[in-house]
Structure 1
Amino acid sequence: MEYDEVILGRRSIRGYRSDPVPKGLIEEIINLVMRAPSSYNSQPWSFFVISGEPLNRIRAGNVERMVAGVPESREFRAGQPFAGSHRDRQVGVAKQLFSAMGIAREDKDRREEWMLRGFRQFDAPVCVIITYDRALADSDDTPFDCGGVANALVNAAWSRGLGTVINSQGIMQSPVVREHAGIPDDQVIMKSIALGWPDETFPANAVVSERKPLAETLNFVGFAD
């Protein structure tokens, strides 16, 4: 694909085919995204790519603990809940997804099942856990750099026909993830990304999240009219 096609065409994928993703293709993608910029070339990230039975154990553990009411244990700070226009956009995309899936507001069972899909990494055949070196945990540049490499990953995957969705629900029970992914203590678990071949029959996959107008976000300073 051309670069513009990737950026404008990519969307978050929440329904996947069960077909396996070749290990060599994942290595190709990661090798490409390693070119993402980082502060002073620190490259703070590591990738734990999980599939098969270890991923099934993570899914089961996440769901079991969340249903049992075990408090979430994200390692990377979540911050305060969204408010104002940020909350409005969060609610907006949720409405788009529920509408696409035909989930009514009063249908608590289907809403709960949708939430649990997130804890199962949307049943994708692959989950990529991005971590960063604990020695850099106090650096604000580190999460910025990891965000950049995550962006590179989802776009590189899309350019090769693979879908992704960046997903915080998959790491809310970090002890489960750390145990079954074999993540050492010197790494902080930051984010999970579901990855696989998109199921084009899954209604939510057609949802394209809205973007705020350019006039609300772009500021030119010092330019002639």
Structure 2
Amino acid sequence: MNYDEVVRGRRSIRGYQQKPVPKAVIREVLELAMRSPSSLNTQPWNFYVVSGEPLDRIRAGNTERNLAGVPHSREFRVHGEYGGQHRERQIGVAKQLFAAMGIAREDKDARQDWVLRGFRQFDAPVSIVVTYDRSIHGSDIGPFDAGAVTNALVNAAWSRGLGCVINSQGIMQSPVVREHAGIADDQVIMICVAMGYPDDDFPANAVVSERKSVDEAAVFVGFED
């Protein structure tokens, strides 16, 4: 695939084949992702690639603590509820997903099951926990660079036939993630990425989220019409 095909074709994947992902392919994906630009070439990112039993323990601990009402402990700043157009877009993609999955508005059990899938990192065979160096924590540069490398990661994965979904639900209970992924104290947990081979029979995988137009997003200054 060329670059346009990767970017236009990539979708968030929320249903996976239970098929192992070769370590060598993940290394290729990370190598490509790490070509991402970073501030002053600081490259503050690191990756904890988790699979198998350690990932199962993270899923279980994350789910149990969330269901027990333990407050989330994500290590990035959260903003609370969205409003305005941001909320409308959030609701829009939720409607797309629920329609694809046949989840009715009044079906509380199905909606709860969907939330639990997020806590389980969508049962993907691999989770990549993206961290950045605590020594630069407190500025926006570390999170900015971590976001850039995560975008590059999901596109590189797609180019290798792998699907991903960037998932903050999977790191809601950071002590669980730290323990079972062996994350060093000098790292800040930014996000996790569920990864695996897409299950083509999983309806939500066909959903392509709507995007606002360039005219809505961009202001051109100093150009002639």
Name the residue aligned to 2:200.
200
Name the residue aligned to 1:68.
68
Name the residue aligned to 1:38.
38
Name the residue aligned to 1:47.
47
Identity, % of aligned pairs?
70
Name the residue aligned to 1:148.
148
Question: Do structure 1's residue 224 and structure 2's residue 211 form an aligned pair?
Answer: no
User: What 5-or-longer segments of structure 1 have no aligned partner?
Assistant: none
In 1, Cα distance between the equivalents of 2:140 and 2:175? 24
Runs of 4+ displaced beyond 3 Å: none
Name the residue aligned to 2:24.
24
Return the letter of the residue paired with 1:198.
Answer: P
SS of structure 2 residue aligned to 1:11: coil
Per-residue CA deviations over 1:83-126 (Å, capped at 9, x if unaligned) read 10001000100000000000000000010000000000000000
Name the residue aligned to 1:10.
10
SS of structure 1 residue aligned to 2:64: helix
Question: Do structure 1's residue 177 and structure 2's residue 208 form an aligned pair?
Answer: no
In 2, Cα distance between the equivalents of 1:33 and 1:14? 21
Question: Do structure 1's residue 162 and structure 2's residue 162 form an aligned pair?
Answer: yes
Name the residue aligned to 2:186.
186
In 1, Cα distance between the equivalents of 2:106 and 2:139? 44
User: What 5-or-longer segments of structure 2 have no aligned partner?
Assistant: none
In 2, Cα distance between the equivalents of 1:164 and 1:206? 13
Shift of 1:213: 2.0
Per-residue CA deviations over 1:155-179 (Å, capped at 9, x if unaligned) read 0000010000000000000000000
Shift of 1:219: 1.0
In 2, Cα distance between the equivalents of 1:144 and 1:187? 15
Structure 1-normalised TM-score?
Answer: 0.99
Shift of 1:80: 2.9
In 2, Cα distance between the equivalents of 1:30 and 1:213? 30
Shift of 1:222: 0.3
Structure 2-normalised TM-score?
Answer: 0.99
- In the TM superposition, 1:90-101 aligns within 5 A as 90-101=90-101
Shift of 1:59: 0.2
Number of residues of Structure 1 aligned to a counterpart in Structure 2: 225
